[in-house]
Structure 1
Amino acid sequence: MKNDKDNLFSFQNLQETGISFGQVFEHILKFMQSDPYGHYRLMVGTDSQVHHSHTTFITGIVILNEGKGVWACIRKVLIPRKMLQLHERISYELSLSEEIVSLFTEERKNKLINIVLPNIYEGATFSMEGHIDIGNGKQNKTSKFVKEMVARMEAMGVEPKIKPDAFVASSYANRYTK
């Protein structure tokens, strides 16, 4: 099941650095296998921060067993310029999330689904979400991009979430962009 792209990306969390995507997937698999009756949400989201001479992008991958725990990691990408155009930055954030979502091939998604499938009548669930750091509020500068970005995430077969429900992008990833 190893994918050629597995080693192109490097992830980290508080316990480990230099984690390949293959290792990330194995962590997610083991996390879900530890409770096949769980209510799982696999979430991917990216946030960015413009700094003096570069822009930092952080993509978070979070597997949540509602009410019972979480495993998470991040991928950091530095662009050596200030990305000041909001649409360009939001679009690039989404591209980075799409890149990671695409690593969850049908074969990989089926492996995860098959963990909970025997237990769905006992309440086990699995969903995959794309968290987009945009909001629909009148005061939100990103509201004009909602339809475009949501459509992109839906086209990938992932349930889009925007603020305030996009916490992987707006809270978890945001924490590491500073």
Structure 2
Amino acid sequence: MNFYHPRKGRFTIEEVIADMRQYMEADRSARYKVVIGTDSQTNQQETLFVTAIIVQRVGKGALFYYARKRSHPIFDLRYRIYKETEYSLDCMEQLKQHGLLEVSTDIPVEIHLDVGKHGETRTLIQEVVGWVTSVGYTAKIKPDAFAASAVADRFTK
């Protein structure tokens, strides 16, 4: 899977981790958090999924990357939210498999879900939050799910 940085261009997963490592080593006294979220947009031809990886230097900015994945059009909202959650969790697993934990084992990880207490997705909150927490990550929903609802959403348009 290819990732993109808005100013630096295309990255492999290994290059993302190396760039994250360099970012974190530039200020060792800062606290960091890794945030992953996926959003999707469907039209008659396809569904575009965008997964964002954000390395947040808490209180001091952030670095982010995104990846796009295209699929046949998915009109079923429940299925699409499940795919978004799956892609976010898969992305985190890829980061771990390619050495993210070698950077630091104590970095908190949040998975941001594009569901909220208002609107059609409210009935899915318990299911997807339960899924994310059952594999050991913190789940955030709207309005706190900025990785999905702001960053990833921006690149689905």
Task: For 1:158, give the aligned amino acid.
Answer: Y
| Deviations 1:74-129 (CA, angstroms, capped at 9, x unpaired) | 000111x3211000100111111111011232883542336xx7xxxxxxxx3110
Hey, what does 2:23 align to over in structure 1?
A: 31
Counterpart check, 1:133 vs 2:93? no
- TM-score under structure 1 length normalisation: 0.82
Uncovered stretches (5+) of structure 1, i.e. residues with no partner: 1-8, 118-125
1:67-106 alignment to 2 at 5 Å?
A: 67-79=59-71, 81-105=72-96
Greater C-alpha Rg: 1
Displacement of 1:155 = 2.3
Hey, what does 1:121 align to over in structure 2?
A: none
Displacement of 1:152 = 1.4
Question: Taking every aligned residue pair, what percent have the same amino acid on both sides?
Answer: 27
Hey, what does 2:51 align to over in structure 1?
A: 59
Runs of 4+ in 1 over 3 A off after TM superposition: 106-110
Hey, what does 1:5 align to over in structure 2?
A: none
Displacement of 1:34 = 0.7
Q: 2 CA distance for matches of 1:38 and 1:131?
A: 22
Hey, what does 1:156 align to over in structure 2?
A: 135
Task: For 1:10, give the aligned amino acid.
Answer: N
Displacement of 1:58 = 0.2
Distance 1:52 1:91, change over 3 A: same
Q: Secondary structure at the match of 1:32?
A: helix
Alpha-carbon RMSD across the aligned residues, in angstroms, is 1.7
- TM-score under structure 2 length normalisation: 0.92
How many residues in Structure 1 have an aligned counterpart in Structure 2?
A: 157
